[in-house]
Structure 1
Amino acid sequence: MTTSNVPTAHTTQVSNPRLRLLNTLRKKEPALMTFIAIPSVRHAQIVALTGLDGVIIDCEHGHIGDDSMHNSVAAISSLGVSPIIRVRGTSPDILKRALDTGAHGLMIPMINTAEEAAAVVTYSKFPPLGLRGQGSAFPAIGHGLTTPEYMKTANETLLTIVQIESKQGVENVDAIAAVPGVDYLFIGPNDLAQSLLGYTPARGDEPVFVEAIEKIVAAARKHGKWAGRLVNDGPLAQEALKKFDSVAITGDTKAISNWYTAQIACVRP
């Protein structure tokens, strides 16, 4: 079996209404996400009920361990929203542990080479495409399926989202986007700015930064992959969606802080 004739998240004919983020992307509708860093089932439920298509559970920078990761996935998926886990690294045990929660996809930070991207795909796919092991009932539950149904469809319905957020990643982005099994390129603008410019946050109009963004989007388009980025608010999301398939609108900690700061400023100008 060659990877060229294997269905992917882009070409799958599997129809599962539970997979909200994938379904929105495939319908070419704006797909909206946000990050959560706070470990709480109730918090995850509140965020999931705001109208988002996906909630990214941040196990890289957030205060979220294994227990909270499992609970958040269950809470979000039960409400018809796609839980995506941003893992803290690329080792096989980290990828397997995240997938075994029932997440609808993984976001992998700091992918800098095609080899790194290919390794992520290998350990995220069941045989014969990869080396992912099976032994948990939880993944199927998160997809509303039996375990046999899940195992038959997971390779082509799970979203593999790689983050391009370094100078090296931009240099290798065409090769990264070409890797079979990579579905989506996501830009981390703050780390990308730090790598390219030496400071954050970027203003967003620096020529080297703009050129890098364009190169990432062009690579995604060339290889038929989705592209997205982080933005700070709704108006910026509207503008970004003219270019990108999907955006993540800030994160919970910043949203809470900004809201309270703005309201208190009304009282104490």
Structure 2
Amino acid sequence: MSYPTALTTSIENSRLRLLNKIKAGEFPLMTFMAIPSIRQAQIVALTGVDGIIIDCEHGHIGDDAMHNSVAAISALGVSPVIRIRGPAHDILKRALDTGAHGIMVPQINNAEEAAQIVASSKFPPQGVRGQGSAFPAIGHGLTTPEYMKSANETIITMIQIETRAGVENVEAICAVPGVDLVFIGPNDLAQSLLGYTPARGDEPEFVAAIDKIIAAARKAGKWAGRMVNNGTAAKEARERYDTVAITGDTKAIQNWYMAEFDIARS
């Protein structure tokens, strides 16, 4: 079945900052948020970031914090994306009912898993997502009927490739209709391929895996992204990726303090 997706949609909504920027080729910047706080969400949203990935996989974030963070982030003109903790239908449905502008699903290993995620994230006839919440429409600044018409083709579905099986099956994963973006988790990918983390980045097997993922995304006409540690790495990634996520709130806080304390004690 052929239908518009975030990659091809003609729907325009000024609130969808991440989608609008990536479609325009503007290399939007994201970051991860692991701390469950409305104030934390507001602080990060006011940094100039384009999208904030609310980390419900590894972060200390439950349903209440997930809803509150999405509302706080979107209210400040930034796109909230939720990294869910797994591909289960009920988890995905709960995340989308917050009004998130995108979802990120970790450790996808094959096309069948990717297809199930797409089905769970889209309303019929393209998928099996149920409708019963007013919150997602509010988060997009739309009425519920308007949201129902636009959600299938404006929510960015991000699939994480971070396992050996994911790399082996990446072409089939990228070919799944409704997969919009493949996102590389370099630390887990290094752990899967090399047995340790983080990778230096120059190991032949690791480099080959990165090249294969990007090539598969390009072949299928999908966006590609990854996590990087700092702005310098993000700038270098512009040549190969459509978007990146620069570290996260916990690391950013620690890194700033450690650097300043080192200076103070020097």
**Smaller-chain TM-score bracket:** over 0.9
Within the alignment, does 1:232 sit opposite 2:237 as a pair?
no
Match for residue 51 of structure 1 among 48, 56, 60: 48
Superposed displacement of residue 242, structure 1: 1.1
Match for residue 109 of structure 2 among 99, 108, 112: 112
Superposed displacement of residue 223, structure 1: 0.5
- After superposition, where does 1:119-268 map in structure 2 within 5 Å? 119-268=116-265
Equivalence for 1:17: 14
1:221 aligned counterpart, secondary structure: helix
Match for residue 80 of structure 2 among 52, 59, 83: 83
Q: Which amino acid aligns with 2:226?
A: R
2:10 aligned counterpart, secondary structure: coil
Distance 1:30 1:183 in 2: 15
Superposed displacement of residue 30, structure 1: 0.8
Superposed displacement of residue 241, structure 1: 1.1
Q: Which amino acid aligns with 2:10?
A: Q
Superposed displacement of residue 208, structure 1: 0.5
Distance 2:170 2:28 in 1: 22
Superposed displacement of residue 267, structure 1: 1.1
TM-score by length of 2: 0.99
Equivalence for 1:32: 29
Output one character per residue of 1:230-269: Cα deviation in whole Å (capped at 9) or x when no partner: 0000000000111101000000000000000000011113
RMSD: 0.5
Count of residue pairs brought into register by the alignment:
266
Q: Which amino acid aligns with 1:164?
A: I
1:123 aligned counterpart, secondary structure: helix
Superposed displacement of residue 110, structure 1: 0.3
Distance 2:264 2:8 in 1: 53
Match for residue 5 of structure 2 among 3, 8, 16: 8
Superposed displacement of residue 76, structure 1: 0.3
Distance 2:17 2:98 in 1: 17
Equivalence for 1:64: 61
Superposed displacement of residue 181, structure 1: 0.3
**Long gaps (5+) in structure 1:** none
1:179 aligned counterpart, secondary structure: coil
Q: Which amino acid aligns with 2:27?
A: P
Distance 1:18 1:168 in 2: 36
Output one character per residue of 1:186-209: Cα deviation in whole Å (capped at 9) or x when no partner: 000000000000011100000100
Distance 1:235 1:133 in 2: 42
Q: Which amino acid aligns with 2:86?
A: G
Output one character per residue of 1:38-73: Cα deviation in whole Å (capped at 9) or x when no partner: 000011011011111100000000000000000000
Distance 1:79 1:147 in 2: 21
Q: Which amino acid aligns with 2:69?
A: S
Distance 2:255 2:47 in 1: 17
Distance 1:190 1:30 in 2: 22
Superposed displacement of residue 149, structure 1: 0.2
Distance 1:45 1:224 in 2: 34
Structure 1 runs (4+) greater than 2 angstroms displaced: none
Equivalence for 2:96: 99
Percent identity between the two aligned chains? 73
